[in-house]
Amino acid sequence: MHIIKTKAWQLGEKSVTDEKIYNERRRLMKMAAIAGAGAMVPFSLKASATYVPRALSFAPNKAYRDLSPTEYEKITTYNNFYEFSLSKEGPSKLAHTLIPEPWTIEISGEVEKPMTVDVAQILAKYPLEERIYRFRCVEGWSMVVPWIGFELSCLLKKAGLTSQSKFVQFQTKYDPQMFPEQKSEGFFGNIPFPYVEGLRIDEAMHPLTLLSVGLYGKTLPKQNGAPIRLVVPWKYGFKSIKSITKIHVSASMTRSTWNEVNPREYGFYSNVNPDVDHPRWSQAKERPLGEFFKQKTQHFNGYADEVSHLYTGMDLRKHF
Ligand code: MTE
């Protein structure tokens, strides 16, 4: 992101939201879920290079279904995933090397029960729900994504927090066979891999914070961070780390990749804020993917009522 480059959105794209098709699909999936008496499609335990997103059973969360999702095609072909490519179009073409099954997440550090959990087990144990969230990239584009997932707090509660559980760090799997750009430390050594991100514990435990395993009713496409990624809707998109394999709880503030690469431009908090510009561009407006006209950026990306209390008394210009 710190590399100066013409953004693909500057080329101008057509408006493509296709709500009718999506609503019909959701109606059918709801019927299928009822017919299947809640039986969830399990993740295969076999390694599958031929992985393709497949239908999940989930319950739509009524509180988060008012927005019109951006078209599936856009969400899955305009990506940031630097382990594969610097371009937005690269990840959807190059992420075939990622093998998302089987996959485990290690939970370590300041927890009562350090553990390694299989994503297949997670899917079997946690009821999945759909939440349609706004997603705002620090680069100035935005979209609306119908995520399928569960609250991160469910997993952290299972591991058991202690009085020393103050911050949480997430790490993307390190495997240059699967993520080829990890070999070259990403584009001329600019990005230290593995990609890491962090949250304060109250942010991690907030009910809006999801671990997502799917979108548009199906398991995650590889380029969107299969098999499991973070979604923190009130923060800039780079906090939503993909293909997570480690979660480490600690007493002190954790590392985060972009803050380390360029602390002047990317803060640890990275809450969406129209009043605090990026040093190289304004954050007052954003361009929804596929639309020509920009719209106003919302404080905390539209989730201020739910999250602004987390930052009471903090100078958000300083802690950007
Ligand atoms: N996670 C990893 N491991 N690697 C990345 O390059 N890019 C981040 C975030 N998570 C990134 C990542 C950035 S900059 C953004 S905007 C979002 O993923 C993009 O998510 P999307 O491609 O699903 O839209």
**Domain boundaries along the sequence of the chain:** 13-311
Per-residue pLDDT, 125: 81
Ligand 1 pocket: which of 3, 73, 81 to mutate (most atoms <8 Å of CB)? 81
- Would you state the pLDDT for residue 186? 58
For a pocket test of ligand 1, which of 2, 172, 222, 240 has the largest count of ligand atoms closer than 8 A to its C-beta? 240
**Average pLDDT rounded to a whole number, residues 196-202:** 98
What is the per-residue pLDDT across 272-311, written as a single tens digit (0 to 9) for each?
A: 999 999 999 999 999 999 999 999 999 999 999 999 999 9
Its pTM stands at 0.87
pLDDT on residue 44: 41
C-alpha of residue 276 to centroid of ligand 1, in Å: 21
Q: Is the pLDDT of residue 178 over 80?
A: yes
Better pLDDT: 226 or 2: 226
Tokens found for residue 144: 């609306």
Mean pLDDT over 19-48 rounds to 41
Phi/psi at 254 (nearest 5 deg)? Answer: -95, 165
Q: Separation of 149 CA from ligand 1 center, angstroms?
A: 17
pLDDT given for residue 190 in this prediction: 79
13-311 CATH choice from 3.90.420.10, 3.30.565.10, 3.40.50.11900, 3.40.50.300? 3.90.420.10
Q: Which atom of ligand 1 is nearest to the CA of 172?
A: 3
